[in-house]
């Protein structure tokens, strides 16, 4: 393939790879899931399928784009010389995958620059939901789609009418802090949703089935592709740091600033004790 692709061409390549990876993940789920390791805590699992799917994705990217950098959840980084980085979560929502839930996705994001959400330039993102076959995709400047249908974020009239998705970390201390923040938030918004896969939560913002998604401490691979889908569907991003950990918010423009301010204040209060 040419060394310089358009965002749409990058999205085409990412979609082709993600579809193949999704088929492998779904096949392995039918055959039975094996927990291969635990990471930050006993509940932070990695399956053999996570590793196998990432190996497939990494190999396909290397075949098509040998000069690009790679940043994956399971196999780490690979240096490149093109300035392009592929940010990959082979099975986002591994616990859902382990339990047989449909709420997991193959997430492939393409960015210019390092694998850092505060400095990268989004190019393309694809999230495939293997259990349903749904494909979310976006290319910079070209909008976002679900199975080819254009996406647009919701238009909540106020913070009180805002449906918010969130997620939780894997350590007990972070979870306690996140629940304390939710205790202050839930009386200010319509309701809270917890799906268990950051990539799909970001895509839900783009679809408009939630108005915002926020989480403290998510990793670049968790949200690279999904955040591009949300952004191209009209969502705004807010990033801030509290207690040495970044928080991310992807939200409908009408409530992004107000919700970010509220969450920041709640986090600072909880962390202050």
Which residues are the active-site residues?
Answer: 73, 89, 91-92, 94, 222
Classify 11 as helix, strand or coil. helix
Quote the CA–CA distance of 199 and 232 in Å, as a whole number: 14
Report how far residue 37's alpha carbon sits from residue 164's, in angstroms, rounded to the nearest whole number: 32
CA distance 172 to 178: 10
Strands 69-72 and 84-92: parallel
**Rounded distance, CA 21 to CA 19, Å?**
5
Looking at beta carbons, which pairs linking 131-137 to residues 24 or more positions away fall under 8 Å?
Answer: 131/26, 131/29, 131/101, 131/102, 131/103, 131/104, 132/102, 133/22, 135/15, 135/18, 135/19, 136/203, 136/206, 136/225, 136/226, 136/229, 137/11, 137/14, 137/15, 137/229
> In terms of Cα–Cα distance, which of 85, 126, 93, 92 is closest to 232?
126
Helix, strand or coil for residue 106?
strand
Helix (H, G, I), strand (E, B) or coil at 69: strand
Lateral strand order in the sheet of 134-139: 76-78, 69-72, 84-92, 105-112, 121-129, 134-139, 143-146, 149-150
What is the rounded CA–CA span in Å between residue 21 and residue 89? 11
């Amino acid at each position: 393939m040419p060394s310089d692709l358009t965002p749409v061409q990058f999205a085409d390549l990412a979609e082709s790879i993600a579809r193949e990876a999704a088929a492998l993940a779904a096949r392995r789920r039918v055959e039975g899931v094996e927990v291969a390791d635990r990471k930050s805590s006993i509940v932070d699992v990695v399956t053999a399928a996570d590793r196998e799917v990432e190996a497939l994705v990494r190999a396909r990217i290397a075949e098509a784009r040998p000069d690009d950098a790679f940043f994956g959840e399971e196999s780490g980084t690979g240096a490149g010389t093109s300035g392009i980085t592929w940010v990959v979560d082979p099975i986002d929502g591994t616990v859902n995958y382990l339990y047989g839930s449909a709420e997991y996705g193959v997430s492939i994001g393409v960015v210019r620059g390092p694998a850092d959400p505060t400095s990268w330039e989004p190019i393309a993102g694809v999230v495939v939901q293997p259990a349903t076959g749904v494909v979310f995709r976006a290319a910079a400047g070209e909008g976002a789609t679900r199975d080819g249908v254009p996406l647009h974020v919701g238009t909540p009239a106020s913070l009180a009418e805002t449906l918010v998705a969130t997620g939780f970390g894997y350590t007990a201390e972070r979870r306690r802090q996140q629940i304390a923040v939710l205790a202050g938030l839930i009386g200010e918004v319509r309701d809270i949703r917890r799906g268990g896969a950051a990539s799909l939560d970001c895509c839900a913002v783009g679809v408009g089935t939630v108005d915002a998604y926020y989480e403290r401490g998510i990793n670049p691979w968790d949200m690279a592709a999904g955040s591009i889908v949300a952004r191209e569907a009209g969502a705004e991003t807010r990033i801030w740091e509290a207690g040495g950990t970044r928080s991310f918010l992807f939200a409908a423009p009408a409530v992004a600033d107000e919700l970010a301010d509220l969450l920041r204040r709640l986090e600072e209060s909880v962390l202050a004790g």
